[in-house]
Structure formats: structure tokens, C-alpha cells
Chain A
Amino acid sequence: MSALRARVIELYKQLYYMGKEYPAGAEWFHPRLKKAFLKNKDVSDPKEIEALIGRGQFVIKEIEALYMLRKYRSLKKSYYEEPLPLAEANLVKKINANAP
């Protein structure tokens, strides 16, 4: 039981830490994080706790992916020329195909 408790606390710390750079702000993220944990404070079935930790780990992966993508996109926007948007590119293709 205490081993699970330690893992839940570790999960909370990790999410709290990641929330510091959340795009909507830590002030947005932290209260919601706390609420999500408090909502399940009475859960006592080890299997259920395990499942909830699993969900927490999934959220961590999602946030990591979000940060990575955000950084990648902003760098791409500032340093690389944007490729033509799909609709525009298709139009260009069509015009070229019809050209004599």
C-alpha cells in the first residue's frame, strides 16, 4: 500500500513539475491537477489505483508530446519556409497539369 502511495506522490510531483511550463500557464494547470487527484482520494482498491497511475503516466506522455510539437512548430515557423498548404499545392498541380 505504501509503495503505491509513494508512486502516486511521485506522479503528482512529476505532473506538477511539467505543469510549470504549460502553455495556458501554471496557474491554470496546477489547480486542475490538484482537483484531479483529490477527486480520487478515497480510492482504496489497489487495482483501481494502479489503473489511475497508468492514466497519469499517459497524461505525462501526452504533455511531453505537446511540448515537443509546440517547440518544433515554432522553430519551423521561424527558421524554415512554410511549404504550400495542401489546397494551394493541389491547385498549383492542377494548373500545371492543364498547362499546354
Chain B
Amino acid sequence: MSLRVLVGVKRVVDYAVKVRVRPDHKWVVTDGVKHSMNPFDEIAVEEAVRLKEKKIVSEIVAVSCGPPQSQETLRTALAMGADKAIHVEVPAKDAELLSPIHVAGIIAKIAKDEKIDLVILGKQAIDDDSNQTGQMVAGLLNWPQATFASEIVQADGGLKVTREIDGGLEVIQVKLPAVITTDLRLNQPRYATLPNIMKAKKKPIDKKSPADLGVDTKPRLEVVSVDEPPVRQAGAKVANVEELVQKLKEAGRI
């Protein structure tokens, strides 16, 4: 087989950063905060590269929708082994209003234009945790989907995918073209080394806008409020059983 694969990569706030809610309660603070590739997308890129090393895949196209800085994320994908990249540029202001339906529309359109056989996406991004884009892409293209993949092998002209489901694993056979979303245990992504990042600068990045692809990115959802999780209340020590019983009575627990 020589499949053409599309992988989606999202630029998100780095996993190690302690996120803070923005004062207007519409999103989290992103200015001056370290960003990196969504870890689940890293797993998707790694899987595509491994399939290429097994000669199942012939070309890997990485796609990212986001602000100009998303190019850095695409460079990382290229350094890991993607062959070319498409950057769908959305101004930073609009990028945070971009929701899965828009991204899915963009990815579906590119998948058709580029004659893609397999779309591999991270199951969710670690910033908005939507877990919708892969499913929506499959819906828009009317392709089979294998979500939460923890193993992918070639079988019977298609792919045999092991899925992580509640309380166990499910093995399904999908025909191509198909959409796969990756789970944490699929693989261990390689580290993009410095020489590879340098080499990646020579690989092509195509720039497009959502309008070029005929996708309307008008927000369909409104963020009502983003808040911190409630803080755990401080406990208290008691000297003896009587005091404990009394405190519990006061609190109305007994």
C-alpha cells in the first residue's frame, strides 16, 4: 500500500504550564505562555511516521489551523518526519473562537483536495478537550472512523485498529479511506532533534486561509464563562472523639 496520510496538529499551551484564567473569563491566559504541539497530535504524527517506515504510507501531510505561530508546531511535525505542511492561518483573535466543526470542515476539504487515504488526528486537544474533531471529519467525509486507537495494523486491504473503550479494548476492521484518532498508549513519540528541526526548515509549508477552502469560521458557540475549579476547603484537627462528634453534629453530618 502507498497511502497518503493527513495528520492534524494543534498548537496548545504546553502541558507543563500551570494555566491561569484570563481576567475576562472567556479563555485562559495565552500571552507570553509556552506553547507546544498537542501531545495527542504528537502521537498521531509519530504513528504516521512509523507507518511510513513500514512502507504502508507514501506521504505525510501535516495540517494546522491557527495563528501565525502555528508554523512552529508544523515545523516540529516536519522535523518528526512529515513531508509537507499546510498552515491554515487564522488571526490569533479568531483562533480561540475556532471550534471543532470549523477545523473539521477545513480538514475534510484538504483531505479531498490532497487525495488523502487516511486522516490521523489526536483524540482531543489538551486545551479545550473537545474530543470532536475526528468524529466530525469522518461525518463530513462519510468515511469510517476508528477513534481512541491504541494499535494500528494493516489487514485485508484495510486497517485493523484496536480501540480503548471503557473497561477494555475493542478491535475493529476499517476500510480505507478512514479517519483515526489516537489514544495515549498508541506509541511513544520521538523527540524532534535539533538537526532535524534545521532540516525541516527546508520542507515546504503551504499557507491558506479558511476562505480559500470555502469554510465559514463564524463562531457557532459562545463561551459563557471560563473558571478555575473550586478550591478545596481547609480541614481542621480535633483533639478527641467528643470534639469530633460535636463538630460533625454542628456540620449536620450526623
Binding site for B on A (CB under 8 A): 10, 13-14, 17-18, 23, 64, 67-68, 70-72, 74-76, 78-80
Contact = CB atoms under 8 A, between A and B. Distances in A.
A75 B189 contact: no
Contacts of A80: 184
B39 A71 contact: yes
A23 B191 CA distance: 16
A75 B15 contact: yes
Contacts of A10: 195
A17 B191 contact: no
Interface string B184-209: 10001101011100000000000000
Given A18-B191, A23-B16, A71-B15, 15 more contacts: A17-B194, A18-B194, A64-B191, A68-B189, A68-B191, A71-B39, A72-B188, A74-B15, A74-B16, A75-B15, A75-B39, A75-B126, A78-B126, A79-B184, A80-B184
Contacts, number: 29
Interface of B: 15-16, 39, 126, 184, 188-189, 191, 193-195
B184 A68 contact: no
B161 to A, nearest CB: 19
A17 B76 CA distance: 14
Nearest to B16: A74
Nearest to A20: B34
Contacts of A14: 193-195
